Amino acid sequence: MYLVATPIGNLFDISLRALNILKKSKIIFAEDTRNSRKLLNFYEIDTPLVACHEYNEIMPAVVEKIERGEIYSLISDAGTPTISDPGYRLVNWCVENGVEVVPIPGACAFIAGLCGSGLPTDRFTFCGFLPSKQHARREALQEVKSKTETLIFLESPKRISDSLKDMREIFGDRHCCICRELTKLYEDFQRGSLSKIIEHFSENEPTGEFVAIISGNKEEKIDETQIFSELAELLQKFRVKEAVEIIIEKYSVNKKAIYQKALEIKEKL
Protein backbone atom coordinates (compact mmCIF):
# COMPACT_ATOMS: atom_id res chain seq x y z
CA MET A 1 0.00 0.00 0.00
CA TYR A 2 1.59 3.26 -1.16
CA LEU A 3 0.52 6.50 0.51
CA VAL A 4 0.84 8.94 -2.37
CA ALA A 5 0.85 12.69 -1.74
CA THR A 6 -1.07 14.62 -4.41
CA PRO A 7 -1.14 18.35 -5.30
CA ILE A 8 -3.03 20.73 -3.00
CA GLY A 9 -3.74 23.07 -5.89
CA ASN A 10 -1.20 23.29 -8.69
CA LEU A 11 -1.37 19.98 -10.58
CA PHE A 12 2.35 20.11 -11.35
CA ASP A 13 3.19 19.69 -7.63
CA ILE A 14 3.53 15.91 -7.85
CA SER A 15 6.67 13.79 -8.02
CA LEU A 16 7.73 11.51 -10.87
CA ARG A 17 7.83 8.64 -8.39
CA ALA A 18 4.23 9.32 -7.36
CA LEU A 19 3.05 9.29 -10.98
CA ASN A 20 4.93 6.06 -11.65
CA ILE A 21 3.31 4.30 -8.67
CA LEU A 22 -0.18 5.54 -9.53
CA LYS A 23 0.21 4.12 -13.04
CA LYS A 24 1.42 0.75 -11.72
CA SER A 25 -1.25 0.42 -9.02
CA LYS A 26 -3.97 -2.20 -9.40
CA ILE A 27 -6.40 0.03 -7.47
CA ILE A 28 -6.20 3.58 -6.15
CA PHE A 29 -8.18 4.16 -2.97
CA ALA A 30 -9.40 7.77 -2.96
CA GLU A 31 -11.35 9.97 -0.57
CA ASP A 32 -13.42 11.45 -3.39
CA THR A 33 -13.21 9.59 -6.70
CA ARG A 34 -14.69 12.49 -8.67
CA ASN A 35 -12.05 14.91 -7.45
CA SER A 36 -9.21 12.41 -7.84
CA ARG A 37 -10.28 11.50 -11.36
CA LYS A 38 -9.44 15.06 -12.49
CA LEU A 39 -5.82 14.53 -11.43
CA LEU A 40 -5.59 11.09 -13.05
CA ASN A 41 -7.12 12.35 -16.27
CA PHE A 42 -4.64 15.23 -16.39
CA TYR A 43 -1.76 12.70 -16.33
CA GLU A 44 -3.59 10.12 -18.47
CA ILE A 45 -3.69 7.50 -15.71
CA ASP A 46 -6.50 4.97 -16.11
CA THR A 47 -6.02 2.99 -12.87
CA PRO A 48 -9.39 2.02 -11.27
CA LEU A 49 -10.53 4.22 -8.38
CA VAL A 50 -12.31 2.94 -5.27
CA ALA A 51 -13.89 5.31 -2.73
CA CYS A 52 -12.24 5.14 0.68
CA HIS A 53 -13.80 7.66 3.04
CA GLU A 54 -14.91 7.71 6.65
CA TYR A 55 -18.12 5.84 5.86
CA ASN A 56 -16.58 2.80 4.19
CA GLU A 57 -12.82 2.86 4.70
CA ILE A 58 -12.55 -0.29 6.82
CA MET A 59 -15.54 -2.10 5.37
CA PRO A 60 -14.84 -5.58 3.90
CA ALA A 61 -15.90 -4.29 0.48
CA VAL A 62 -12.76 -2.14 0.51
CA VAL A 63 -10.11 -4.23 2.23
CA GLU A 64 -11.02 -7.51 0.54
CA LYS A 65 -9.82 -5.99 -2.74
CA ILE A 66 -6.23 -6.01 -1.45
CA GLU A 67 -4.30 -9.02 -2.76
CA ARG A 68 -0.77 -10.07 -1.86
CA GLY A 69 1.92 -9.11 -4.35
CA GLU A 70 -0.10 -6.34 -5.97
CA ILE A 71 0.55 -2.57 -5.81
CA TYR A 72 -2.16 -0.36 -4.32
CA SER A 73 -2.22 3.35 -3.61
CA LEU A 74 -4.07 5.58 -1.16
CA ILE A 75 -4.56 9.24 -2.01
CA SER A 76 -6.56 12.03 -0.39
CA ASP A 77 -8.49 14.83 -2.09
CA ALA A 78 -5.36 16.97 -1.88
CA GLY A 79 -2.06 16.75 -0.06
CA THR A 80 -0.63 13.92 2.00
CA PRO A 81 -2.92 10.98 2.82
CA THR A 82 -3.95 10.45 6.49
CA ILE A 83 -3.13 14.07 7.44
CA SER A 84 -6.50 15.43 8.63
CA ASP A 85 -8.33 12.81 6.59
CA PRO A 86 -9.73 9.42 7.59
CA GLY A 87 -7.34 7.23 5.59
CA TYR A 88 -5.26 6.34 8.64
CA ARG A 89 -7.74 3.59 9.52
CA LEU A 90 -7.05 1.80 6.26
CA VAL A 91 -3.32 2.19 6.92
CA ASN A 92 -3.82 0.75 10.40
CA TRP A 93 -5.67 -2.23 8.87
CA CYS A 94 -2.74 -2.81 6.49
CA VAL A 95 -0.21 -2.70 9.32
CA GLU A 96 -2.21 -5.14 11.44
CA ASN A 97 -2.63 -7.53 8.51
CA GLY A 98 0.95 -7.56 7.34
CA VAL A 99 0.48 -5.38 4.25
CA GLU A 100 3.60 -3.28 3.67
CA VAL A 101 2.98 0.46 3.83
CA VAL A 102 5.20 2.81 1.81
CA PRO A 103 4.78 6.61 2.06
CA ILE A 104 5.60 8.72 -1.00
CA PRO A 105 6.09 12.28 0.30
CA GLY A 106 4.91 15.42 -1.44
CA ALA A 107 2.58 18.38 -1.03
CA CYS A 108 1.19 19.16 2.44
CA ALA A 109 -0.78 22.36 3.01
CA PHE A 110 0.24 23.07 6.59
CA ILE A 111 3.95 22.49 5.87
CA ALA A 112 3.78 24.82 2.88
CA GLY A 113 2.05 27.44 5.02
CA LEU A 114 4.56 27.08 7.86
CA CYS A 115 7.53 27.45 5.49
CA GLY A 116 6.17 30.73 4.12
CA SER A 117 4.86 32.14 7.38
CA GLY A 118 8.03 33.71 8.74
CA LEU A 119 7.31 32.16 12.14
CA PRO A 120 9.65 29.69 13.91
CA THR A 121 9.74 26.29 12.22
CA ASP A 122 12.08 24.40 14.56
CA ARG A 123 9.24 23.36 16.90
CA PHE A 124 5.53 23.40 16.12
CA THR A 125 2.23 21.71 17.02
CA PHE A 126 -0.21 20.77 14.28
CA CYS A 127 -3.71 21.13 15.73
CA GLY A 128 -5.73 20.34 12.60
CA PHE A 129 -9.32 21.55 12.33
CA LEU A 130 -10.89 23.20 15.37
CA PRO A 131 -14.39 22.10 16.51
CA SER A 132 -17.20 23.95 14.75
CA LYS A 133 -19.10 24.85 17.94
CA GLN A 134 -17.70 27.76 19.91
CA HIS A 135 -17.65 26.15 23.36
CA ALA A 136 -15.69 23.12 22.13
CA ARG A 137 -13.46 25.34 19.99
CA ARG A 138 -12.55 27.54 22.94
CA GLU A 139 -11.81 24.49 25.08
CA ALA A 140 -9.46 23.19 22.37
CA LEU A 141 -7.67 26.55 22.26
CA GLN A 142 -7.30 26.61 26.04
CA GLU A 143 -5.54 23.24 25.86
CA VAL A 144 -2.75 24.65 23.66
CA LYS A 145 -2.64 28.20 25.06
CA SER A 146 0.53 27.65 27.11
CA LYS A 147 2.54 25.93 24.36
CA THR A 148 5.63 27.92 23.40
CA GLU A 149 6.05 26.41 19.94
CA THR A 150 4.33 27.65 16.77
CA LEU A 151 0.70 26.50 16.49
CA ILE A 152 -0.89 25.41 13.21
CA PHE A 153 -4.61 25.15 12.49
CA LEU A 154 -6.73 24.35 9.43
CA GLU A 155 -9.96 26.30 8.98
CA SER A 156 -12.82 26.85 6.58
CA PRO A 157 -13.88 30.27 5.18
CA LYS A 158 -17.14 30.10 7.15
CA ARG A 159 -15.38 29.83 10.53
CA ILE A 160 -12.02 31.55 10.08
CA SER A 161 -13.17 34.93 11.48
CA ASP A 162 -14.86 33.42 14.54
CA SER A 163 -11.85 31.19 15.21
CA LEU A 164 -9.44 34.13 14.99
CA LYS A 165 -11.56 36.13 17.45
CA ASP A 166 -11.55 33.23 19.90
CA MET A 167 -7.78 32.92 19.49
CA ARG A 168 -7.26 36.60 20.25
CA GLU A 169 -9.40 36.38 23.39
CA ILE A 170 -7.68 33.23 24.67
CA PHE A 171 -4.11 33.65 23.38
CA GLY A 172 -3.87 37.42 23.45
CA ASP A 173 -3.01 39.50 20.38
CA ARG A 174 -0.28 37.22 19.07
CA HIS A 175 1.56 37.48 15.77
CA CYS A 176 0.23 35.17 13.08
CA CYS A 177 0.23 34.30 9.41
CA ILE A 178 -2.99 33.28 7.68
CA CYS A 179 -2.42 31.40 4.41
CA ARG A 180 -5.18 31.09 1.83
CA GLU A 181 -5.50 28.96 -1.30
CA LEU A 182 -1.93 27.66 -1.14
CA THR A 183 -0.34 26.87 -4.55
CA LYS A 184 -3.50 28.05 -6.31
CA LEU A 185 -4.15 31.09 -8.51
CA TYR A 186 -5.25 33.34 -5.63
CA GLU A 187 -2.67 32.22 -3.07
CA ASP A 188 -2.42 34.80 -0.31
CA PHE A 189 -0.45 35.34 2.92
CA GLN A 190 -1.69 37.77 5.56
CA ARG A 191 0.86 38.47 8.31
CA GLY A 192 0.55 40.54 11.46
CA SER A 193 -1.27 40.58 14.80
CA LEU A 194 -4.51 38.66 15.25
CA SER A 195 -6.31 42.01 15.52
CA LYS A 196 -4.89 43.14 12.18
CA ILE A 197 -5.97 39.91 10.46
CA ILE A 198 -9.44 40.04 12.03
CA GLU A 199 -9.83 43.58 10.71
CA HIS A 200 -8.68 42.43 7.27
CA PHE A 201 -11.39 39.77 7.08
CA SER A 202 -14.01 42.20 8.34
CA GLU A 203 -13.31 44.20 5.17
CA ASN A 204 -12.58 41.27 2.82
CA GLU A 205 -14.88 38.27 2.69
CA PRO A 206 -12.94 35.06 3.48
CA THR A 207 -12.85 32.60 0.59
CA GLY A 208 -10.92 29.39 -0.02
CA GLU A 209 -9.23 27.04 2.43
CA PHE A 210 -7.09 28.43 5.25
CA VAL A 211 -4.00 27.48 7.22
CA ALA A 212 -3.57 29.58 10.36
CA ILE A 213 -0.02 29.79 11.76
CA ILE A 214 0.03 31.32 15.26
CA SER A 215 3.09 32.25 17.31
CA GLY A 216 3.63 30.33 20.53
CA ASN A 217 3.29 31.58 24.08
CA LYS A 218 6.20 33.90 24.87
CA GLU A 219 5.35 34.55 28.51
CA GLU A 220 8.26 33.63 30.73
CA LYS A 221 7.52 31.29 33.61
CA ILE A 222 7.68 33.17 36.85
CA ASP A 223 9.75 31.79 39.72
CA GLU A 224 7.58 32.58 42.78
CA THR A 225 10.42 31.72 45.18
CA GLN A 226 12.62 34.39 43.61
CA ILE A 227 9.81 36.96 43.62
CA PHE A 228 8.95 36.37 47.28
CA SER A 229 12.63 36.55 48.21
CA GLU A 230 12.99 39.91 46.48
CA LEU A 231 9.76 41.11 48.07
CA ALA A 232 11.10 40.25 51.54
CA GLU A 233 14.27 42.23 50.88
CA LEU A 234 12.29 45.23 49.63
CA LEU A 235 10.05 45.20 52.70
CA GLN A 236 13.11 45.79 54.86
CA LYS A 237 13.67 49.09 53.04
CA PHE A 238 10.23 50.22 51.83
CA ARG A 239 6.65 50.31 52.96
CA VAL A 240 4.30 47.54 51.80
CA LYS A 241 2.69 49.61 49.07
CA GLU A 242 6.03 50.74 47.63
CA ALA A 243 7.54 47.24 47.72
CA VAL A 244 4.49 45.79 45.98
CA GLU A 245 4.61 48.42 43.24
CA ILE A 246 8.27 47.65 42.53
CA ILE A 247 7.51 43.92 42.17
CA ILE A 248 4.44 44.54 40.00
CA GLU A 249 6.37 46.79 37.64
CA LYS A 250 9.23 44.31 37.33
CA TYR A 251 7.30 41.05 36.92
CA SER A 252 3.76 42.03 35.79
CA VAL A 253 2.19 39.65 38.32
CA ASN A 254 -1.16 39.79 40.08
CA LYS A 255 -1.18 42.82 42.38
CA LYS A 256 -3.71 41.45 44.84
CA ALA A 257 -1.76 38.22 45.36
CA ILE A 258 1.55 40.06 45.82
CA TYR A 259 -0.01 42.54 48.26
CA GLN A 260 -1.39 39.68 50.36
CA LYS A 261 1.98 37.97 50.37
CA ALA A 262 3.67 41.22 51.37
CA LEU A 263 1.38 41.53 54.39
CA GLU A 264 2.22 37.99 55.44
CA ILE A 265 5.96 38.64 55.11
CA LYS A 266 5.69 41.95 56.95
CA GLU A 267 4.08 40.28 59.97
CA LYS A 268 7.08 37.97 60.30
CA LEU A 269 9.72 40.69 60.06
- The tens digit of pLDDT for each residue in 152-164 reads 999 999 999 999 9
**H-helix or E-strand containing 255?**
helix 255-268
pLDDT at 195: 93
pLDDT at 157: 96
d(CA 153, CA 157): 13
| pLDDT of 57 higher than 70 | no
pLDDT at 178: 98
- What's the pLDDT tens digit per position in 88-116? 888 888 888 888 999 999 999 999 999 99
| pLDDT of 190 higher than 60 | yes
Angle at 183 (CA atoms; ends 4, 3), nearest 5 degrees: 5
Residue 59: pLDDT band by 50, 70, 90 thresholds?
Answer: low
Full-model pTM: 0.76
Report the percent of the chain where pLDDT is more than 90: 67
Report, as an integer, the average pLDDT of 173-180.
96
Cβ–Cβ contacts within 10 Å for residue 215, how many?
Answer: 20
Name, in order, each residue with C-beta under 8 angstroms of 244's C-beta and a sequence gap of 6 or more: 231, 255, 258, 259, 262
| pLDDT of 252 higher than 60 | no
